[in-house]
Amino acid sequence: MVRHSSPFSGRYLRYVLSILFFAILAPLILWQWSPLYSVLSLLAAAALTVGYDSVTRQIALNKAEGMVNEKSSLIVHAVKIASDRKGYLVITDNFVLFVPLWKKKIKTVLETSQIVRYEFERQTVEITAKFPNKHRTFQFCIGSLERVKQELEEKSGKSLPYKYDKMSKSEGV
């Protein structure tokens, strides 16, 4: 398996190749036969770049909203580090969900009240949630840290330091 420097480099590679081939090279070659072929090539470039991302984003949004019956406030490209799955991180008023791209089941659903701690480092966010018997950590590589940080602070409150895990958020630090 070929590793890339960024988990989102596959998307950027698709953008570059689609624009290079379908938006620049193909119209120049196909123009001599028919301008219609050039226009169709430009439409193919748009479909492979913006169209693909729009469709997958809408599918993820519909899955997430159908599961929790809430409107989403933020949706960003993400990669779940443990399983190396690409998808979207969706944040609603009461839930944080990871929606995998081409899988039917959503397995990562966290209530914002369960989130105890979140840490940001480079493109990685590490969310620690408190379950009845244990704490569990989820790591995601995300596209835009600032928007996710702002939404998590707004929805789940301030992140507790490690040594204050046993305290509740209402007690404060």
pLDDT for position 161: 67
Residue 2: pLDDT over 50: no
pLDDT in tens, 91-140: 888 888 888 887 778 888 888 888 888 888 888 888 888 888 888 888 88
CB atoms within 10 A of CB 156: 23
The answer to whether the predicted template modeling score (pTM) of the entire model surpasses 0.85 is no
CB 57 within 8 A of CB 114: no
pLDDT in tens, 41-66: 888 888 888 888 888 889 888 888 88
Query: DSSP for 47-87?
Result: IIIIIHHHHHHHHHHHHHHHHH-S-EEEEEEEEETTTTEEE
Quick one: tokens of 131?
């379950």
pLDDT in tens, 5-33: 556 666 777 778 777 777 777 777 777 88
Q: Give residue limits of the domains in the chain.
A: 9-54, 70-164
CB 92 within 8 A of CB 75: no
CB 151 within 8 A of CB 94: no
What does CATH list as the number for 70-164?
2.30.29.30
3-state SS, residue 171: coil
